[in-house]
Structure 1
Amino acid sequence: MQFKGIYTPVITPFHDDLSIDEKGYAQIIENQIALGTHAVVIGGTTGENYALSKEERVWQFKFANEVIAGRVPWIAGVNDIRTEDVCSYSVAAKENGASALLLAVPPYSVPTDEELALHALKVDRAANMPIMLYNYPGRSGTSFGEEFLERVGRSSNFQAIKESSGDIDRIHMLACQFPHLQLSCGADDQALEFFAWGAQSWVCAAGNFFATEAIALHKTCTIDGDFAKGRRIMKAMLPVMTVLERGGKFVQCVKYACELEGLPAGPVRLPLRPLKKELKRTMRDAVLTAKTAIQQIISE
């Protein structure tokens, strides 16, 4: 599978009673398709998968597949603590039409590279479909190391890696030592650097409210090769990405920005809490300023 373009890990909108807003969820997906997003991620952490029941997670796969109806590919976020549960989600995703899996390190367990490879290869055997690895040590406690990457590289299903460590040296290592793994941007504030090092895709949580702008940056860098213009777009984006990546309220900020776009989002589930007014104001100002600046750059 070729991973190219903007892949948005969609939010899960909730009603005030914290039940899933099914109509709103369909609207979120339809909005992404209408804006030209190349694919969506269903069941990712931006979608608060950790706060959903097993039944809700599997329902999301089925419901999203029906809404998407083959118009764009979709990737299933299947991560969990137990290997057996990850395998179960992976099989459910395949049965419900997913194009690929997004596989991260099981949180809290902090496995060695060998142990992690055994986990990943078991998931691979269960589902036998394309896999994008998801490296985010800040959330999982450990990274996909070089030994791990060499071990899982024996299976052709491991085709890409979403790198979210924020470590520029990891980008260099992956691009130089593992060129067979398609590099995907997983750090919204480093998109320009990823594109400069050959990444063709961006799993962009900001795409929930920033899809047009993210698509513009991707096209400018990866298709047009105009990195001078790309730097201008990225410079305009950075205040928004800084709030997202360093504000400590990632999902809340994404959902609030969706509301600014008139999209259904609703509250976040526990253990997260709503945004305070000050951070809302900071996020709103950053988004509105960035959108105005980027539209001007695009229209030139």
Structure 2
Amino acid sequence: MIQGSIVALVTPMKEDGAVDKDSLKKLVEFHIEQGTDSLVAVGTTGESATLDEEEHCDVIKAVVDFVAGRIPVIAGTGANSTTEAIELTARAKEVGADACLLVTPYYNKPTQEGLYLHFKAVAEAVDIPQILYNVPGRTACDMLPETIGRLARIGNIVGVKEATGDLQRVKQIRELTGDDFALYTGDDATSREFCLLGGNGSITVTGNVAPKLVHEMISAAINGDREIAEAIDKKLAALHKTLFIQSNPIPVKWAVAEMGLMAKGIRLPLTWLTEDCYDAVRDAMRQAGAI
């Protein structure tokens, strides 16, 4: 089971929007050095919505190659078309990803049965560990704990990223799935409590900026060390908030650029962080020791 601080990696871009492989390699080395437990390539934070299919698969391959087996790589391969999700997942397996993260189909609002059949179809088509991803705030689709429980019976569906921020779901999902099913939070602000309640890790945005602290905080929470986890999380609290001051990944890409790890590149319809937000994000970065 992949556990701990799993960073939803930004996709570095040049100012013209081209993917910057040199900076991507630099980021991978930075995270391994800082203790990040695993990386997600081309998730929401990695701008999956603005990369075309070839770029999407190319970035996954590049991350796998740069990591070179040192930590697990999870590939973002979700789509609102089942056939597209199957294709992306198959290609991620081909390039050596350790697992795939599949968001619930967005915009088309499938029923719970539709969600079950969608994820079942992908799991049956591609033999690779698969992690469900529930983020109704972005997809307008909430996968209920009962549906997750049904899907957990499929052998290669191994976990869920639950990004509702609803801590009551930790116990609900655990009771419906069992101890061998991984529960990850996708909500940085509640990640400490999620892991103290029995979660296995955080698929984190904040970890892009303060990877060492997030790793230490999540490790402490998984181990039940509340006092240590709370003390570390206090340093991260402002960052958890300000990295969502505008739509993700706008603030986090600005922060990573501010750290000198990549250029000021983002793709439309996303825009660069507006100047009125700079001080708030900088202050939060200072509190976390990122600058």
TM-score (norm 2): 0.95
Distance 1:234 1:123 in 2: 36
In terms of fraction of residues, the more helix-rich structure is: 1
1:3/1:160 contact within 8 Å kept: no
Q: What is aligned with 2:80? A: 81
Mapped to 2, the partners of 1:154 and 1:221 lie a distance apart of 27
Kept in 2, the 8 Å contact 1:175–1:197? The answer is: no
Q: Hey, what's the Cα distance between the residues in 2 that align with 1:103 and 1:18?
A: 25
C-alpha distance in 2 between matches for 1:146 and 1:233: 30
CA displacement at 1:265 relative to structure 2: 4.2
Q: Report the alpha carbon displacement of residue 37 of structure 1 after superposing the two structures with TM.
A: 1.1
For residues 60 and 235 of structure 1, the distance between their equivalents in structure 2, rounded to whole angstroms, comes to 34
Tell me the SS of whatever aligns to 1:76: strand
SS at the partner of 1:161? strand
Q: Residue type matched to 2:278 in 1?
A: K
Shift of 1:99: 0.7
Residue number in structure 2 paired with 1:127? 126
Q: Which residue matches 1:16?
A: 15
Deviations 1:14-56 (A, max 9, x none): 1111111111111111211121211111111101010001110
Specify the alignment match of 2:150 in structure 1.
151
Listed one character per residue, the Cα deviations across residues 214-234 of structure 1 (whole Å, up to 9, x for unaligned) are: 0110222223x3211211222
Match of 2:270 among 247, 269, 272: 272
1:255 aligns to what?
253
Give how far 1:182 is off: 1.5
Q: Provide structure 2 residue ranges, at least 5 long, that are not aligned to the other structure.
A: none
Distance 1:254 1:24, change over 3 A: same
Which is further off, 166-175 or 7-16? 166-175
CA distance in 2 between partners of 1:218 and 1:170 (Å): 18
Q: Deviation at 1:199?
A: 1.3
Corresponding residue for 1:206? 206
Q: Which runs of 5+ in 1 are unaligned?
A: 293-300
**Separation in structure 2 between the aligned mates of residue 170 and residue 24 of structure 1, nearest angstrom:** 37
Match for 2:118: what amino acid?
H
Q: Residue type of the partner of 1:214?
A: V
Identical columns (%): 31
Question: Residue 295 of structure 1 aligns with which residue?
Answer: none
What is the aligned length?
290
| Counterpart residue number, 1:297 | none
Instruction: Supply the AA of the counterpart residue of 1:251.
Output: P
Distance 1:175 1:128 in 2: 24
